[in-house]
Amino acid sequence: MAIRAIRKFPDPVLRKKAAPVTVFDAELRKLVDDMVETMYAEPGVGLAAPQIGVSLQLFVIDITVGERPDALIVLANPTILSATGRLVEEEGCLSVPGIRAEIPRAETVEVHGWTLDQQEVTLKGRGLLARAFQHEIDHLNGMVIWDRMGKVQRELLKSEWKRSQRQTQKR
Protein backbone atom coordinates (compact mmCIF):
# COMPACT_ATOMS: atom_id res chain seq x y z
CA MET A 1 0.00 0.00 0.00
CA ALA A 2 1.10 3.53 -0.70
CA ILE A 3 -0.14 7.02 -0.06
CA ARG A 4 -0.70 8.69 -3.40
CA ALA A 5 -0.59 12.39 -4.21
CA ILE A 6 -4.02 14.01 -4.33
CA ARG A 7 -4.60 15.87 -7.56
CA LYS A 8 -5.57 19.47 -6.91
CA PHE A 9 -7.87 21.72 -8.89
CA PRO A 10 -7.35 22.74 -11.75
CA ASP A 11 -5.67 19.42 -12.70
CA PRO A 12 -7.35 18.31 -15.98
CA VAL A 13 -8.01 14.75 -14.72
CA LEU A 14 -10.56 16.25 -12.29
CA ARG A 15 -12.62 17.57 -15.22
CA LYS A 16 -12.62 14.36 -17.25
CA LYS A 17 -15.46 11.82 -17.13
CA ALA A 18 -13.91 8.63 -15.75
CA ALA A 19 -13.94 5.36 -17.69
CA PRO A 20 -15.89 2.37 -16.38
CA VAL A 21 -14.01 -0.31 -14.47
CA THR A 22 -13.91 -3.37 -16.73
CA VAL A 23 -11.15 -5.47 -15.15
CA PHE A 24 -11.48 -6.59 -11.53
CA ASP A 25 -8.03 -7.94 -10.74
CA ALA A 26 -5.11 -7.69 -8.31
CA GLU A 27 -4.07 -4.38 -9.84
CA LEU A 28 -7.50 -2.89 -9.08
CA ARG A 29 -7.31 -4.21 -5.50
CA LYS A 30 -3.90 -2.55 -5.09
CA LEU A 31 -5.34 0.70 -6.41
CA VAL A 32 -8.17 0.45 -3.85
CA ASP A 33 -5.68 -0.26 -1.04
CA ASP A 34 -3.71 2.85 -2.05
CA MET A 35 -6.91 4.91 -2.22
CA VAL A 36 -7.98 3.80 1.25
CA GLU A 37 -4.56 4.55 2.74
CA THR A 38 -4.51 7.96 1.02
CA MET A 39 -8.04 8.81 2.20
CA TYR A 40 -7.23 7.95 5.81
CA ALA A 41 -3.91 9.83 5.70
CA GLU A 42 -5.57 13.11 4.69
CA PRO A 43 -8.00 12.39 6.60
CA GLY A 44 -11.08 12.36 4.44
CA VAL A 45 -14.40 10.51 4.32
CA GLY A 46 -14.20 9.68 0.61
CA LEU A 47 -11.86 9.55 -2.34
CA ALA A 48 -12.53 8.99 -6.04
CA ALA A 49 -9.90 7.45 -8.32
CA PRO A 50 -9.56 10.61 -10.46
CA GLN A 51 -8.42 12.45 -7.33
CA ILE A 52 -5.21 10.41 -7.44
CA GLY A 53 -4.90 10.71 -11.21
CA VAL A 54 -6.60 7.46 -12.23
CA SER A 55 -9.56 8.09 -14.51
CA LEU A 56 -11.71 5.12 -13.46
CA GLN A 57 -15.25 5.01 -12.06
CA LEU A 58 -14.17 3.90 -8.60
CA PHE A 59 -14.47 5.38 -5.13
CA VAL A 60 -13.86 4.57 -1.50
CA ILE A 61 -15.92 6.02 1.35
CA ASP A 62 -15.71 5.67 5.12
CA ILE A 63 -17.71 8.27 7.03
CA THR A 64 -16.19 6.97 10.29
CA VAL A 65 -12.68 7.87 9.00
CA GLY A 66 -11.34 4.44 9.95
CA GLU A 67 -12.99 4.11 13.36
CA ARG A 68 -15.14 1.19 12.17
CA PRO A 69 -13.44 -1.18 9.69
CA ASP A 70 -16.84 -2.49 8.57
CA ALA A 71 -17.87 1.01 7.46
CA LEU A 72 -15.55 1.09 4.43
CA ILE A 73 -17.42 1.15 1.12
CA VAL A 74 -15.68 0.44 -2.18
CA LEU A 75 -17.79 0.85 -5.29
CA ALA A 76 -17.02 0.57 -8.99
CA ASN A 77 -19.18 2.04 -11.75
CA PRO A 78 -21.64 3.68 -9.34
CA THR A 79 -24.83 5.37 -10.42
CA ILE A 80 -27.48 7.14 -8.39
CA LEU A 81 -30.82 5.35 -8.75
CA SER A 82 -32.87 7.75 -6.65
CA ALA A 83 -32.42 10.91 -4.64
CA THR A 84 -34.91 12.44 -2.22
CA GLY A 85 -35.05 15.38 0.13
CA ARG A 86 -32.64 18.28 0.23
CA LEU A 87 -30.02 19.38 2.73
CA VAL A 88 -27.66 22.33 2.54
CA GLU A 89 -24.59 21.63 4.64
CA GLU A 90 -20.92 22.55 4.74
CA GLU A 91 -18.74 20.43 2.50
CA GLY A 92 -15.08 20.34 1.59
CA CYS A 93 -12.94 18.56 -0.98
CA LEU A 94 -9.46 17.07 -0.79
CA SER A 95 -8.82 18.31 -4.34
CA VAL A 96 -9.72 21.90 -3.44
CA PRO A 97 -7.93 22.27 -0.08
CA GLY A 98 -8.91 25.04 2.27
CA ILE A 99 -12.37 25.56 0.78
CA ARG A 100 -15.50 24.73 2.71
CA ALA A 101 -18.89 25.79 1.41
CA GLU A 102 -22.60 25.31 1.95
CA ILE A 103 -23.57 22.80 -0.76
CA PRO A 104 -27.10 21.56 -1.50
CA ARG A 105 -27.40 17.79 -1.85
CA ALA A 106 -30.14 15.18 -1.69
CA GLU A 107 -30.76 14.00 1.87
CA THR A 108 -31.17 10.35 0.87
CA VAL A 109 -29.81 8.50 -2.14
CA GLU A 110 -29.87 4.98 -3.45
CA VAL A 111 -26.72 3.99 -5.34
CA HIS A 112 -26.06 1.02 -7.62
CA GLY A 113 -22.59 -0.34 -8.40
CA TRP A 114 -20.18 -3.25 -8.19
CA THR A 115 -17.95 -4.54 -5.40
CA LEU A 116 -14.37 -5.67 -5.98
CA ASP A 117 -15.73 -9.23 -6.01
CA GLN A 118 -17.92 -8.25 -8.97
CA GLN A 119 -21.08 -8.43 -6.92
CA GLU A 120 -23.84 -6.09 -8.02
CA VAL A 121 -25.06 -4.04 -5.04
CA THR A 122 -27.56 -1.34 -4.23
CA LEU A 123 -26.77 0.83 -1.21
CA LYS A 124 -28.83 3.48 0.55
CA GLY A 125 -27.29 6.48 2.20
CA ARG A 126 -28.75 9.24 4.33
CA GLY A 127 -27.13 12.41 5.65
CA LEU A 128 -23.32 12.36 5.49
CA LEU A 129 -23.21 9.04 3.64
CA ALA A 130 -25.63 10.33 0.98
CA ARG A 131 -23.52 13.49 0.68
CA ALA A 132 -20.33 11.43 0.29
CA PHE A 133 -21.92 9.22 -2.41
CA GLN A 134 -23.00 12.30 -4.38
CA HIS A 135 -19.66 14.10 -3.94
CA GLU A 136 -17.58 11.13 -5.12
CA ILE A 137 -19.90 10.38 -8.06
CA ASP A 138 -19.53 14.05 -9.06
CA HIS A 139 -15.75 13.44 -9.27
CA LEU A 140 -16.34 10.44 -11.54
CA ASN A 141 -18.37 12.69 -13.84
CA GLY A 142 -15.70 15.41 -14.02
CA MET A 143 -17.34 17.74 -11.53
CA VAL A 144 -15.72 19.49 -8.59
CA ILE A 145 -17.17 21.31 -5.60
CA TRP A 146 -17.20 24.64 -7.49
CA ASP A 147 -19.86 23.21 -9.82
CA ARG A 148 -22.34 22.80 -6.96
CA MET A 149 -22.03 26.38 -5.71
CA GLY A 150 -24.10 29.38 -6.64
CA LYS A 151 -22.35 31.93 -8.84
CA VAL A 152 -21.73 34.53 -6.09
CA GLN A 153 -20.43 31.95 -3.59
CA ARG A 154 -18.26 30.34 -6.27
CA GLU A 155 -16.65 33.61 -7.38
CA LEU A 156 -16.00 34.75 -3.80
CA LEU A 157 -14.48 31.43 -2.72
CA LYS A 158 -12.46 31.02 -5.93
CA SER A 159 -10.96 34.45 -5.35
CA GLU A 160 -10.02 33.52 -1.76
CA TRP A 161 -8.70 30.14 -2.91
CA LYS A 162 -6.52 31.67 -5.65
CA ARG A 163 -5.11 34.13 -3.11
CA SER A 164 -4.25 31.32 -0.69
CA GLN A 165 -2.66 29.31 -3.53
CA ARG A 166 -0.40 32.24 -4.44
CA GLN A 167 0.65 32.62 -0.80
CA THR A 168 1.39 28.89 -0.54
CA GLN A 169 3.53 29.02 -3.71
CA LYS A 170 5.58 31.94 -2.34
CA ARG A 171 6.66 29.90 0.69
Domains of the chain: 12-170 (3.90.45.10)
Q: What are phi and psi of 72, to 5 degrees?
A: -70, 130
Using left for φ > 0, alpha for ψ between -120 and 50, and beta otherwise, residue 98 falls in: left
In this prediction, residue 70 carries a pLDDT of 94
Dihedral sign of CA atoms 165, 53, 143, 135 in order: negative
Active-site residue flag, 136 = yes
In this prediction, residue 159 carries a pLDDT of 82
Computed over its alpha carbons, how large is the radius of gyration of the chain? 16
In this prediction, residue 123 carries a pLDDT of 98
User: By the 8 A CB rule, do 120 and 114 touch?
Assistant: yes
Partners of 74 in the β-ladder:
60
Which of 89, 107, 136, 160 is flagged as catalytic?
Answer: 136
> What pLDDT digit, counting tens, does each position of 107-158 carry?
999 999 999 999 999 999 999 999 999 999 999 999 999 999 888 888 888 8
* Amino acid at position 81, single letter: L
- The yes-or-no verdict on residue 171 having pLDDT over 70 is no
3-state secondary structure of 115: coil
Task: Supply the pTM of this predicted model.
Answer: 0.94
Residue range 9-15: mean pLDDT, rounded: 95
Residue range 39-61: mean pLDDT, rounded: 97
